Amino acid sequence: MTVYIEADENNEFFNKNCYDAWKGFSLRGFQTEKYLYSNLNNGLITFNKEEDIVVGTIRSVKSALNQLRIQLPENIDIPLSLSSYCKRKYWKTTLGEIRNLKNIPVFIKPLNIQKAFTGHIVSNFKDLLKTAKFDDDFELFAQEPINIESEWRFYIKNNEIIGGSCYNGDIFLYPNQFVVKDMVNGYVNPPITYGLDVGVRVKENSIYSIETFLIEVNNGFALGNYCLSPIEYSKFLEESWKGMIK
């Protein structure tokens, strides 16, 4: 088995996530090999569906799956079974509708093309400049803006929480563990690996009572490493890959 890990033009690991993956797989005794996205995308990298693993950016992993003729995993965002934890309105829309500026402020991010642009709040015309190159029919996932004082990501593998950390905001505002566990237990037909992003905010007129709510869910292959050890991260990515090729 060979683990193919994305590198840049200087033959350095593409980012820290790729380095962590290399370290973890290497420590576990796997053979690893670097690749360039351009070579992978042009079909110059030969890998075996049953034996090899491809690690890298979202576009690279999707390119590998396309070459294997495997259906790409859909964006998850808010699973229907967890919608009650969202605590705000959300809907599918298009850039054309948002550009009318009738329902602002509104948080938008790409619906189908992950990372086409960074999700952000649109409050005025200036906020639309980031999406100027996209057509009106570009599909979006929209949400009612909500105050998020602390943002946390939990890594889930085979329905078990294997790690979590604060990636934005107040690190002392910790999510309610029982709410997070309820989300994991209540998720119907989850992928083998995924990231559960939750937000925390202090309830009005209280400095002690907090509210924990769902921000979004992402497939495991699309997640960077915020807190897992390299070995645990490599196991997480391995399970992600196996889940997708099945």
Residues 159 and 190 sit within 8 Å (Cβ to Cβ): yes
Task: Centre a 10 Å sphere on the Cβ of residue 90 and count the other Cβ atoms it contains.
Answer: 15
- In this structure, the answer to whether residues 230 and 170 fall within a common structural domain is yes
121: domain range? 89-143
* pLDDT > 90: percent of the chain: 78
Residues 173 and 210 sit within 8 Å (Cβ to Cβ): yes
Q: Which of 105, 124, 143 is the last residue of a domain?
A: 143
> Which CATH number belongs to the domain containing residue 130 in this structure?
3.30.1490
Band of residue 115 on the pLDDT scale cut at 50, 70, 90: confident
Band of residue 20 on the pLDDT scale cut at 50, 70, 90: very high
pLDDT surpassing 80 at residue 206: no
- In this structure, the answer to whether residues 137 and 151 fall within a common structural domain is no
- In this structure, the answer to whether residues 151 and 128 fall within a common structural domain is no
Band of residue 134 on the pLDDT scale cut at 50, 70, 90: very high
pLDDT at 217: 96
- In this structure, the answer to whether residues 179 and 225 fall within a common structural domain is yes
- In this structure, the answer to whether residues 193 and 231 fall within a common structural domain is yes
pLDDT at 101: 84
- In this structure, the answer to whether residues 32 and 44 fall within a common structural domain is yes
In a domain, 104, yes or no: yes
The tally of domains found in the chain comes to: 3
In a domain, 58, yes or no: yes
pLDDT surpassing 90 at residue 75: no
Closest CA to 179 of 90, 82, 80: 82
Closest CA to 64 of 46, 91, 85: 46
In a domain, 78, yes or no: no
- In this structure, the answer to whether residues 119 and 61 fall within a common structural domain is no
- Cα dihedral 15, 37, 2, 53 sign: positive
Q: Which of 108, 143, 178 is the last residue of a domain?
A: 143
Band of residue 8 on the pLDDT scale cut at 50, 70, 90: very high
| CA–CA distance, 158 with 175 (Å, rounded to integer) | 21
Arithmetic mean of pLDDT, 218-230: 95
- In this structure, the answer to whether residues 161 and 241 fall within a common structural domain is yes
Q: Against a cut of 0.85, is the pTM above it? A: yes
- Residue keyed to tokens 């110059």: 44
> Which CATH number belongs to the domain containing residue 213 in this structure?
3.30.470
In a domain, 189, yes or no: yes
- Rounded to whole angstroms, the maximal C-alpha distance in the chain is 60
Amino acid identity, position 42:
N
**Chain-centre distance for alpha carbon 27:** 25
| Secondary structure string (H, E, C) spanning the chain | CEEEEEECCCCCECCHHHHHHHHHHHHCCCEEEEECHHHHHCCCCCCCCCCCEEECCHHHHHHHHHHCCCCCCCCCECCHHHHHHCCCCEEEEEHHHHCCCCCCCEEEEECCCCCCCCCEEECCHHHHHHHCCCCCCCEEEEECCCCCCEEEEEEEECCEEEEEEEEEECCCCCCCHHHHHHHHHHCCCCCCEEEEEEEEEECCCCCCCEEEEEEEEEEHHHCCCCCCCHHHHHHHHHHHHHHHHC
In a domain, 76, yes or no: no
In a domain, 197, yes or no: yes
| CA–CA distance, 32 with 98 (Å, rounded to integer) | 45
Band of residue 207 on the pLDDT scale cut at 50, 70, 90: low
- In this structure, the answer to whether residues 101 and 185 fall within a common structural domain is no
In a domain, 77, yes or no: no
Per the structure block, which two tokens stand in for 23? Answer: 């370290």
- Phi and psi, residue 220, nearest 5°: -60, -35
In a domain, 82, yes or no: no
